Amino acid sequence: MNDDATLITQWNRLTRAHRRIEARMERDLHRQLGLGVSEFYALRTLSEGVRAGTGLLYLNDLANGVGLSQSATSRLVTRLQDRGLITTHTSLRDRRSVEIELTAVAHQVLRLGSPLVHQAVEEVVRQLGVEGTDEDLLRYLCGGAGDGVIAHARPADSVAAG
C-alpha cells in the first residue's frame, strides 16, 4: 500500500473509532444527565479554559474550543443557559464580547459526567480490541495506558501469540 493509501486507511479507522466512542458517550450522557456530547464538551471547555483567576471565558474562545461556528455556539450557549448550567454577561472590558461562567449545577454535571465519558471511551476501546482493531490505533486512543487495555481486550491466545 502506498503512503497516501496508508494514511487514508488509518484516518478512516480513526474516524470509525471516534464515531463509535462519541455515539456511546452521547447515549450515556443523554440517559444519565440529559446532555448531548456537544453540551458536555462545551462545559469541559469552559471548565478547562477559564481565564486565569477570573472564572470567565469569552464566547469566541468557546467556539474555538468546541470547534463550532459562532452561530452554532450561540445556540449551544442558549441551551446551556436555559438549563441553568452557565451564566452570560457583557464584558466590562469590551462591550462587544460576551463572558460565560459555569454555575454550581454545571460543576456538579461535570463531576457526574466525566466518569461516564471515561467509562464510555474505555468500553468502546475494549470492544475495538476484542474485534482485532489495529494495536497502534488502540495505543493512540489510550495514551500510555494502551498496553493494559489491549491486554485485557484481547483473548489470551492472541496476546501470547502477539
pLDDT averaged over every residue in the chain? 83
* Whether the predicted pLDDT of 144 surpasses 90: no
- A 10 A CB-CB count for 57 gives 22
Please report, rounded to a whole number, the percentage of residues in the chain having pLDDT higher than 70. 83
Can you give the pLDDT at residue 137? 83
Residue 40 — pLDDT band, cuts 50, 70, 90? very high
Bigger pLDDT: 125 vs 98: 125
Closest CA relative to residue 88, chosen from 77, 100, 71: 100
* Whether the predicted pLDDT of 109 surpasses 80: yes
Angle, CA of 86, 88 and 93, to the nearest 5°: 140
* Whether the predicted pLDDT of 141 surpasses 70: yes
Can you give the pLDDT at residue 123? 92
- Tens digit of pLDDT for each residue in 59-95? 888 888 889 998 999 999 999 999 999 998 887 877 7
101: β partners: 87
* Whether the predicted pLDDT of 96 surpasses 60: yes
